[in-house]
Structure 1
């Protein structure tokens, strides 16, 4: 959900996700729902306008690599940034901690809740095992401790 606090319309031209570690994920597609179905429309990214003092809802898909290719299951600070008709530079839209300890299927990441401690310990432990296996395959350091 994006909010235009100004009195005049705003055109959003680009979006991206910036990780504190320096990686970026670029806006690639727009979906009609949070959980894609076979009949969901996958549109290429395109600029859109937000009327003055209004909001715009968008289900954006971002493409890129998580920090370290297979991130350690911990909160990662991210910033959603936008380029708009109000300047050529990137501006922060939203910043928060993306809770990747909930990231239990690292090969098929689609949508996860960002709520802390919502998964049972068995699922969290299975996620740690899957991420560690991928980290080993990629030759990455920092195995995660078991959660069990």
Structure 2
């Protein structure tokens, strides 16, 4: 294949990656708006968004074809893959501890079981959906020991 043909193929693959990435980012936004609970929204905000960003970055790298720009795009992808799961984990854990998780939608609830087995009472009440224990917010907004 000639140089022009390779350039054309790279441009076509670049457009496909850019459009696919844009679709995944759009799906992540729609899921974050439409899903019913915190954990579903959190999943929609991390999984397809990360894949969409990586596809956009691959499309940009194929289009730019410059060493410095490609390495910068690789760094963006690596940092996104390192930070998105950690952020999602922390948001999910904070939501769980503050009673924002709908227990009726959970198929398996390992965290409550593990917290009870460890003797920690900082679990949510599955019936009322309210947080109990030392990490729960005060009903009257007062911060401090009970």
Query: TM-score, normalising length from structure 1?
Result: 0.27
Q: Which of structures 1 and 2 has the bigger CA Rg?
A: 2
| More RCO (CA 8 Å, sep 6+) | 1
Query: TM-score, normalising length from structure 2?
Result: 0.27
Query: Which of the pair is proportionally richer in strand?
Result: 1
